[in-house]
Chains A and B, each alone.
Chain A
Amino acid sequence: MSNDNTNQIEIHGVNKKFVIDKKKVDILKDINLEFKKGEFICIVGASGCGKSTLLRMISGLETVEEGEITVGGQKVTQPTLKTGMVFQESRLFPWSNVEKNIEFGITHSKSKKLDKYAKKKLVNSLIELVGLKGFEKAIPKQLSGGMQQRVSIARGLINNPDVLLLDEPFGALDAITRINMQNEILRIWEAEKKTMVLVTHDIDEAIYLGDKVVVLSSRPGTLRKVFNVDLPRERDRNSAEFASIRSKIYKEFFNDVKRKEPEYYI
């Protein structure tokens, strides 16, 4: 892809603690990662291992107290329009139609002063990109889960960010819609040339989509391993290479569980 070998995202020595029940609990520990420009990164890990937290820290929604995260060379301290986010629940405004939900990204923007016509054109091009032509005036309750997630992706893209973060964007979808959406997001990624970081707990999804698959261990979330997936797209889930990477990742998880087993005897 358009990897020009500069780092888009760098994560150095990041630890994260949350106060739970009046105690400081380690959530993420010693995370070090570098993602190149234009890469598609997938992060997998068990539920509660801190995947969302890591993504939220990259986005600037969660503070980075220990270590440092940079996006495009800039230290992350708060959200910027250079980083877009797609949440697990589509988080659309139920009272706004598709157009308005997407356009929200650029209403009263400080950086982008577009006239009405230009706004409409931009929104329409995004509606086309995510394949929702004909549904401009539909409100979220009239859309299926997959369609809602497309709106959310379009909203995430409207400020033309360098990075798009996706937190289990297809988690709530059925298997077939999910596979369709995976192909859609690849098509969008290829068209838009963004750096995409996608969190999932579906290992097949991660291998199917990612240039890299980052595996996190659980409680606290530490970096287990980063797998490079050098298979050409469109990838065949049933190929021997795919299966071999899958089995390596499964092993990684399996070892993770084994390693932690003694904890349960306490």
Chain B
Amino acid sequence: MNRSKKGIVDYVIIIISPILLLTIWQVVTDKGWINGAIMPSPKKVIEAFKSLIVTGKYWEQFSASLFRVSIGFTVGTVAGVAIGVLTGLFKKVDDLVTVIFSVLRSIPTIGLIPLFILWCGIGEESKIIIISLGTFWSVLLNTQRGISGTDAKLLEVARILQKNRFVVLSKIVIPAALPSLFTGIRLGISGAWRSVIAAEMIASVRGIGYMIQYAREMSQPAVMFVGLLTLGVVGLALDLVVKWLEKRLIYWS
């Protein structure tokens, strides 16, 4: 059997379980076997989704989260790549920051939310910093690993051909680090997505995280499910986009 080529039968098998799950969910909530106040039926969730769309509230919350993630992820990635390149290239720089970084990296980003609220207030800044951090460490670590792990045999080719540092960096070290960098970006983007929700749940008046939190206070479980499903679908979509990009950019592996 060829695992890469999927036939109709394979697709049927793949979608059979989610359909089954939705059906069971619909049935048990319809029959009232589960309390509708804590577990809405799929139909109710869809209705809630529709009304949130129509009133424009969904977009308001969703765009707020998306905006924060875009900025935070970009900042975190740029910083992670820049510092990762430096620490990967220069052993001395790595030695200089290794202790500090190791300690800071071990603090779960969520634990830092109160601190940044204290420092920057509950505005956008604190959230964007949190998201940046949620991205930063994995991008940094994987960039550094990719850079310092450049095949010494290829570097020797550059040496025998008398290449300067600039050529070595742009033609060998950077491309060699790309696969690892992409691993960092994939982890980073899911980190960013996790952090934005955490930040919005703790202190915010907008965003998907806020929507989920607020739905609990307002006893609107259907809205809560809309939020949760959004998290799942967007998280998956981001991962797929990065994977797709990776396949295109790292065509040689």
Contact = CB atoms under 8 A, between A and B. Distances in A.
A108 B167 contact: yes
A61 B160 CA distance: 7
B161 A91 contact: no
Contacts of A105: 161
A61 B161 CA distance: 11
A79 B162 contact: yes
Interface in B206-253: 250-253
Contact of B160 (A85, A93, A96, A139): A85
Nearest to A152: B157
Q: Is the interface of B mostly helix, strand, loop or mixed?
A: helix
Contacts of A80: 162
Interface centre among A59, A95, A104 (most CB of B within 10 A): A95
Interface residues of A, number: 27
Contact of A81 (B157, B162, B167, B251): B162
B163 A94 contact: no
Interface residues of B, number: 20
Nearest to B164: A108
Given A95-B175, A107-B171, A87 B153 contact: yes
A180 B153 CA distance: 26
Contacts of A107: 163, 167, 171
Contacts, number: 56
Nearest to B172: A93
Contact of A93 (B154, B164, B251): B154
A95 B150 CA distance: 13
A91 B162 contact: no
A159 B163 CA distance: 12
B53 to A, nearest CB: 44
A104 B155 CA distance: 12
Interface string A96-129: 1000000011011110000000000000000000
B166 interface: yes
A200 B164 CA distance: 31
B156 interface: yes
A110 B162 contact: yes
Interface of B: 153-154, 156-157, 159-164, 166-167, 171-172, 175, 178, 250-253
**What 5 A-B pairs are tightest by C-beta distance, nearest first?**
A94-B252, A95-B175, A79-B160, A95-B252, A85-B160
27 contacts: A59-B160, A61-B160, A79-B159, A80-B162, A81-B161, A81-B162, A83-B160, A87-B153, A87-B156, A87-B157, A91-B156, A91-B157, A93-B154, A93-B172, A93-B175, A94-B252, A95-B178, A95-B250, A95-B252, A96-B171, A104-B161, A107-B171, A108-B163, A110-B162, A140-B252, A141-B252, A159-B161
